[in-house]
Structure 1
Amino acid sequence: MEIKQTIDKEYNEKMSSFRWVICGLLFLATTVNYMDRQVLSLTWKDFISPEFHWTDADYGVITAIFSIVYAVANLFAGRFIDWMGTKKGYLWAIGVWSAGACLHALCGWATEHTVGLHDAAEMVSATGTVASLVAITSVYYFIAARVVLAVGESGNFPAAVKVTAEYFPKRDRAYATAIFNAGATVGALAAPVSIPPLARFFQNMGVGNGWEMAFIVIGGLGFVWMGLWMFYYKKPASNPRVNKAELAYIELDNHSDETPAEKADKEDNNKDVI
């Protein structure tokens, strides 16, 4: 608090708080991230399985492949964000995962045309070999959509952490990280109370079997977020919404009279104490 007051006096203006707007956007992105990945788990049993004749094993295969791809993609996501930068990197990440989420809605249409059926009703009433073919074909299409989703979602946390480092001094980074990370819990809590009713609503309206629109609506939230990100995000030093006092606070760690050698000695002494 004393540091903020000192900076306010030094720059003769009250510090702006735009860094918390950026933190709020990170929170929203993380919330959407966790909602997107849960649409399948919340719709497959009641909406998707009857249409494609899935078993628990089919759903398990799709989930396992998503988890594997997500884990592998995480190994490269951070490097990608470092290379692209936070603005473009985050846009690419959420653009890819939102596209992947929406692609799930096309899996039914793709299965119909691949198997040679005319509509969802024919898939539901299929038996024997045709039912097995529908199940196998649809699983492959859903796996493809889940791979796209996993690759995109792997970029969320590396991008959010990098943005936090850009917009917050070390003294506030743990708090800011905790806020955006809370989006994972909020998304996990919001999904069960919103996605099944959403799917049921569109099903009752006769828009497909409902699950398609659930993927499109939740996936579309990511594209809305992209618009907000393009409008609001710039580096702190070039962002007109960040005044000089806030910029000085953000760059607090850079305002040091210590030489690199003195900093190194200080770090070594701290290690010795530990």
Structure 2
Amino acid sequence: MLFAGRFVDKLGTKWGYGIAIIIWSIGAIIHAYSITIGTGIASVLTGLGIAVIPVSILGFMFSRAVLAIGEAGNFPAAIKATAEYHPKKERSFATGIFNSGANVGAILAPITVPWIAANWGWETAFELVGAVGFLWLIFWLIFYESPEKQKRLSATELAYINSDEDEVADKANTSKVSWFKLLGYRQTWAFTFGKFMTDGVWWFFLFWLPGYLKDQYAMTGSDIMLPLAVLYSMTMIGSIGGGWFPKYFVDKGYAVYDGRMKAMFAIALFPLVVLLAQPLGHYSYWIPVVLIGIGASAHQAWSANIFTTVSDMFPKRAIGSVVGIGGMAGGMGGVLVTKVGGWIFDSYAHKGISESFTKFNELGNQNFISQITSMDLASKYGDKINLNVMALSKVPVEVADKLKALDANLFSQLLEIQKPLVQSNMTVAYTIMFAFCAVAYLIAWLIMKSLVPKYKKIDDL
């Protein structure tokens, strides 16, 4: 996203976004040809003497990389387009509306894509997604122009768009702005730190919720579909509502930046309800789902506003670059949260497994524990299975059958002892992660406010 933001600033919104969509659509379509692409790449690498992974994985990784390159241009271009067409007081609302579209897609995809794959093949599902991207591109190129070139705008509408006086003077300046110069401003670091602290929370909520429901409530497959649909529906409301929220303060007479920061502080309080997910979760799985949904909705509300702080402070010619810098920081934060979260979950799962082995040994079953932990186990896909870190309830069926063949009765006894011990330890692990998610936004707000306590327009670029 770092380079995508600069790319959008250099080419302009129309063609910067257009090229990003072309790359993204191609990336989606070539997923259907992953094996062919992987075979070609593998033959080249093999000829160079480089060992390669299976061709299907290699082709899929290449396709994902192309998709990611195109996707990186989305937010820099979208935020830049929003800044071009809306005065400051409306930008977070507009951002909230377009950002909610991703949640609509997240709801529709699990419904439509499996049906397409089942009836027309999985390759067609990828091809249709890419085709939709190209279809959207046609409308984008036909209808989008900068406000000054847009023939569909009246003089009154153009005057309203340009109603922020501090931005009018900068329109004639089209000089390039370096990353190093942008990094010299506190406003850049405020946005960057806010993204770093909070983007990982969003990805944690989305990626780990299915695992959470499986670990804590033994839910699998279609059982998880409805809770996920409810969560995404809530986030759609949060995105739009959070985008509107600063306008409430602006209408009461606050300056745009002051109103936005007040709204963001209020939004930062909502994720605190996630702290109740574990203590109240024993009543029903719907309680943590709704509480996590509130936290995820708060993130979308936060996102609509934090992106808009860039256009509050920076001239339009630098918006894509600053959003790219913050987007990269958000990606790094997401990787860090995922890695740390995975380490915490693995550590506590291992703790529960170790406790179960100790308890089982005390019952005189040392030989069985020694046997199963010394076995060379692997799934049918070749993945190594280590019973010291993987709970028996999670091993593949073919591995479980091998263990049962040793002694089905002892296997069942160990499984019954291990389940509650692992679950109780995983409860602690989720509590730790939920605690971080709950306070991340307040920490981010405090740092952002300390870096930029009052509104200061960047006018010396």
- TM-score range relative to shorter protein: 0.5 to 0.7
Cα distance between partner residues in 1 of 2:344 and 2:440: 14
Cα distance between partner residues in 2 of 1:200 and 1:220: 23
SS class of match (1:234): coil
Letter in 2 for 1:57: S
Aligned equivalent of 2:277, options 79, 104, 107 = 104
Relative distance call for 1:247 and 1:52 in structure 2 (3 A) is: closer
Deviation at 1:50, TM superposition (A): 4.3
Deviation at 1:220, TM superposition (A): 3.2
Relative distance call for 1:32 and 1:155 in structure 2 (3 A) is: same
Aligned equivalent of 1:148, options 272, 285, 294 = 294
Aligned equivalent of 1:194, options 317, 340, 361 = 340
Structure 2 equivalent of residue 91 of structure 1: 265
Deviation at 1:247, TM superposition (A): 4.7
Letter in 2 for 1:145: L
Say which one has the larger Rg: 2
Aligned equivalent of 1:40, options 170, 188, 208 = 208
Aligned partners of 1:93 and 1:156 also within 8 Å: yes
Cα distance between partner residues in 2 of 1:50 and 1:27: 29
Deviation at 1:145, TM superposition (A): 0.9
Letter in 1 for 2:309: V
Letter in 2 for 1:103: L
Relative distance call for 1:62 and 1:153 in structure 2 (3 A) is: same
Cα distance between partner residues in 1 of 2:347 and 2:437: 14
Structure 1 equivalent of residue 432 of structure 2: 213
Cα distance between partner residues in 2 of 1:34 and 1:50: 20
Aligned partners of 1:69 and 1:151 also within 8 Å: yes
SS class of match (2:460): helix
Structure 1: state its 5+ residue gaps.
5-14, 115-136, 238-245, 251-274
Structure 2 equivalent of residue 75 of structure 1: 240
Report whether the alignment pairs 1:233 with 2:398: no
Aligned equivalent of 1:25, options 173, 186, 193 = 193
Deviation at 1:166, TM superposition (A): 1.9
1:241-263: CA deviation from partner (whole Å, max 9, x where unpaired) = xxxxx85427xxxxxxxxxxxxx
Structure 2 equivalent of residue 167 of structure 1: 313
Aligned partners of 2:246 and 2:263 also within 8 Å: yes
SS class of match (1:154): helix
Cα distance between partner residues in 1 of 2:201 and 2:218: 28
Cα distance between partner residues in 2 of 1:61 and 1:187: 29
Cα distance between partner residues in 2 of 1:233 and 1:95: 20
Structure 2 equivalent of residue 133 of structure 1: none
Letter in 2 for 1:40: W
Relative distance call for 1:83 and 1:32 in structure 2 (3 A) is: farther
Aligned partners of 1:93 and 1:154 also within 8 Å: no
The number of residues matched between the two structures is 202
- Identity value in percent: 10
Aligned partners of 1:39 and 1:195 also within 8 Å: no
Letter in 1 for 2:278: A
Letter in 1 for 2:295: L
Cα distance between partner residues in 2 of 1:80 and 1:146: 21
Report whether the alignment pairs 1:249 with 2:460: yes
Cα distance between partner residues in 1 of 2:262 and 2:314: 20
- How large is the Cα RMSD of the aligned pairs? 3.3
Aligned partners of 2:191 and 2:326 also within 8 Å: yes
Relative distance call for 1:193 and 1:149 in structure 2 (3 A) is: same
Relative distance call for 1:64 and 1:29 in structure 2 (3 A) is: same
Relative distance call for 1:43 and 1:65 in structure 2 (3 A) is: same
Relative distance call for 1:217 and 1:200 in structure 2 (3 A) is: farther
Deviation at 1:89, TM superposition (A): 1.4
Relative distance call for 1:50 and 1:247 in structure 2 (3 A) is: closer
Cα distance between partner residues in 1 of 2:192 and 2:215: 39
Letter in 2 for 1:61: L
Report whether the alignment pairs 1:57 with 2:276: no
Report whether the alignment pairs 1:223 with 2:442: yes
